[in-house]
Amino acid sequence: MVNDGAPADADVVAQVLGGDGEAFGILIRRYEPGLLRFATRMLGNPDAAADAVAESLVRAYRHLAQCRDASRLRSWLYRITGNRCRSHLARRHTNDISLSDAPPLADGSDAWAVLERNEQVALVERALAALSAEKREAFVLKHVEGMSYEEMAAVTGARIPTLKMRVHRAREALLAALEEVVR
């Protein structure tokens, strides 16, 4: 990802590998928001998500030389973070996550909008938390992080048809949960 006038990922990676460790801060600022959002949605707990992202970024820094294609750094960082989240979930031996962060609400125009903002947030988070980790990850990468199926495959290691199926199933489950409430 290259912002206006900002150095390309590959250039920053080369800078870091050349000994300028402080340049890694550029990559943190660039990708931290998305990684935190992704981890928060996966783990349902902002503190656990912050831990997972911090550990992932430190790990990425220490293994930066193993990032064979710096132009795909974003996928690589999401992959590390996704793995860290899965490890975290595995340690908890449960898929029952407790979502607690309350993001702002978009306006709605139907019965859905009648619900209070916090109720909407809680409802969506509960529905997301009820999904399996694989479906939750696929849905969040596709719709919240806006990735293509190709990039999702690079992040998760799953095949594209598998990912499409997970996203479709996640949509069905979420829609069913949302309609249950507003019916």
Partner 1 sequence: MSPIDPRLQEALDGERDPGELPVDLGEAYARLISAVQLLAATPAASVAVRVMAEIRQPRVQVQTAGLMRRMVRWLARPRAVTLRLRPAWTLALAVGLAAILLMPGPGHTPGAAEGVAKFVGHFPGARSVEVVGSFNDWSRGTLHLSDDDHDGVWRGGAVLPAGQHEYMFVVDGDRWVPDPLAGRYVDDGFGAGQQNSLLIVRPVAAQP
- Interface residues with partner 1 (CB under 8 A) are 21-22, 24-25, 28-29, 32-34, 36-37, 40-41, 46, 49-50, 53-54, 57-59, 61-63, 65-66, 76, 79-80, 82-84, 87, 101, 103-106, 108-110, 112, 120-121, 124-125, 127-128, 140, 143-144, 155-157, 164, 168, 171-176, 178-179, 182
Nearest approach, Cβ of 126 to partner 1 (angstroms)?
11
**CB of residue 29 vs partner 1: minimum separation in angstroms?**
7
Structure tokens, 165: 């199926």
Token pair 């939750």: residue: 136
> Cβ neighbours of residue 106 under 8 Å, at least 6 residues apart?
none
State the DSSP string of 17-73.
HTT-GGGHHHHHHHHHHHHHHHHHHHHS-HHHHHHHHHHHHHHHHHTGGG-S-GGGH
Residue type, position 48, single letter: A
Q: Closest approach of Cβ 38 to partner 1, in Å? A: 10
Residue 134 beta carbon to partner 1: minimum distance, rounded to whole angstroms: 13
